[in-house]
Amino acid sequence: MTTIHSLDSIPQEVLEHIAYYTATVNFLGPPSALVPLLSTNRRIYAALALDRNPHIWARIFSYKFDLAAARTTPLAIAQELKKRCMVLRRLRAKTDTLAPIWELSSGHSRQLSELLWTAYLMMLENDGRNERQLREYARMDGWLRTYLLGENGASLVRSTVKRDEWPVGNDERISLALWLFWMLLRPEEYMMDEAAFHSANSVLKLIALGAHHYSLCTPSWVNFHPSLNPKDGSVLTHYGMPLRLAPPAPASPAILAYLTLVNQLSVAWDTISYMKPPDPTLPAVLGATSTEWEAEWSRALAGVRVRAGQLGRVLGGLFTYTEFTAYAALLSGASPAVLERSLVAQHPQLWKLREHHLYYEDEDGPAGTRGSDPLVPGSPLLAYLPVGAEVHEGPNGLEVRTPGRAPVVYETWSRIPEKQRGERRLCDVIITGEGHSAWGQFSLLGRVRPCDGFLCLSKNYVDGDRGRWLYRSYLVGNEHGNLSGRWRDTLSPAEVLGYEGCFMMSRRR
């Protein structure tokens, strides 16, 4: 008897095993090896098509990408696989890196935004696989170098600076590209390439120090309880669900990347360095899980819950400043060439911070209810503390007294029993501390904005002849995060641009 062999006779489960093995022979890149199998005949295509058999595609996704941070259906995962494969191919081809982008359609601009948002969210959800796909297959390091730093890059940053004009401030695509640049940064690659270093330094310096053009936070730091517009931001389909995402501000990653590269040089070409401070924690060498970026995820969704115990540490870092006359010229409308030519002095500093928490009682409203704040919001120039506030730090906590109100007692986080941490609803956070730099010893006192975790600290020198300065920052990253932000004078009104510089602080290791 003659036996007829046909692919149509292969059982469904065996066919799925074949498909999975074919798709996962190579980890990097889209499962291109599946195309010949799907093209064999209609029966095999119908058995394995994404819309008819999303489970096999979800399995392939879990092999190639990180899935721990997602909670969704197999069909949504399969659709996400299709989208990410298109993004990876587009990145690898460098389709969007070169100008002139303004001659392209608005549809292409939206496509570029979606590409950058997808890559950014992949890094926020990275547990190892996502970064490998972006770095090793899509070669995103090179993509970003061309897009942001190239003379003819599609971001138009370098070409605009070459015309001695300021690049567009707070552009969504540039902001996302800067965040990806920081997350994927390997400083040694720029130390070995002088031209690449000069290009990176030129772009990052303008955005890090150009406080009058490039925002540190959104919404404005002036308001402790800012109004949030739920209609702001971009809509992106993520795992089959439409998400409205607020673009991150560009300053934080630019400051971290700029100071990291400058700090890597033994003698920086445009800086005065008095003592080499510790390097920041680099995401590219961190090996962190997706939990490292929970605060960035929350900020993208326009709402963050301040994580407990993240700031009560010893931190080392540096602050920078430019000549006052040069900065005054910038505030008066000077071109970027003034900042490019300016000397940037660096001073290392050491902070020792303590974190104090106020919790809601059971009968109180939900966390963030404005009318229930025991401590009223104060002036931003006073680090959000009320005028006349007196702070008394004792062994059991922090007592805050304000005129006409009952004392408010905060618990010092390090003294809270570990089993009780995270069980109660956090209402408010105050930070106290002290430190020293080449300018002398100082005290630190400030408050954390509840809507996005934005930290404002008042820095008061003990000798009293150095004035009072305001340090504003985000903690970028959680367990291994860095404080990245700007200081400014407290003599200029909060709504007016003042004398500013940038700083970063990292946990002492």
Task: State the pLDDT at residue 41.
Answer: 86
Q: Are 361 and 374 spatial neighbours (Cβ–Cβ below 8 Å)?
A: no
Q: Is the pLDDT of residue 364 over 80?
A: no
Say what the pTM is: 0.92
pLDDT single digits (tens) 71-125: 789 999 999 999 999 999 999 999 888 876 555 556 678 889 999 999 999 999 9
Residue range 240-252: average pLDDT? Answer: 91
What per-residue string of b and e applies to 122-156 under the rule 16 or more CB within 10 Å gives b?
bbbbbbebbbbbbbebbbbbebbbbbbbbeebbbb
What are the structural domain ranges in the chain? Answer: 7-74, 81-285, 313-507
Neighbours of 258 (CB within 10 A): 24
Radius of gyration of the chain (CA): 26
Task: State the pLDDT at residue 335.
Answer: 93
Q: In whole angstroms, give the CA distance from residue 455 to residue 447.
A: 6
**If you count them, how many residues does the chain have?**
509
pLDDT single digits (tens) 218-243: 889 999 988 877 667 788 999 989 99
Residue bearing the bigger pLDDT, 253 or 286: 253
pLDDT band at residue 284 using 50, 70 and 90 as cut-offs: low
Residue range 207-223: average pLDDT? Answer: 92
Which contacts of 36-41 are long-range, i.e. CB under 8 A and separated by 24 or more positions?
40/7, 41/7, 41/8
Helical H segments across 4-103, by residue range: 12-23, 34-38, 42-48, 54-64, 74-93
Q: In whole angstroms, give the CA distance from residue 246 to residue 217.
A: 11
- What does the angle CA 220 – CA 221 – CA 227 come to, to the nearest 5 degrees? 50
Residue 16 structure tokens: 């799925």
Q: Are 260 and 187 spatial neighbours (Cβ–Cβ below 8 Å)?
A: yes
35: which residues sit within 8 A by CB, 6+ positions away? Answer: none
Instruction: Report the share of the chain in percent with pLDDT over 90.
Output: 52
Task: State the pLDDT at residue 212.
Answer: 92
Burial class (CB in 10 A: 0-12, 13-18, 19+), 100: exposed
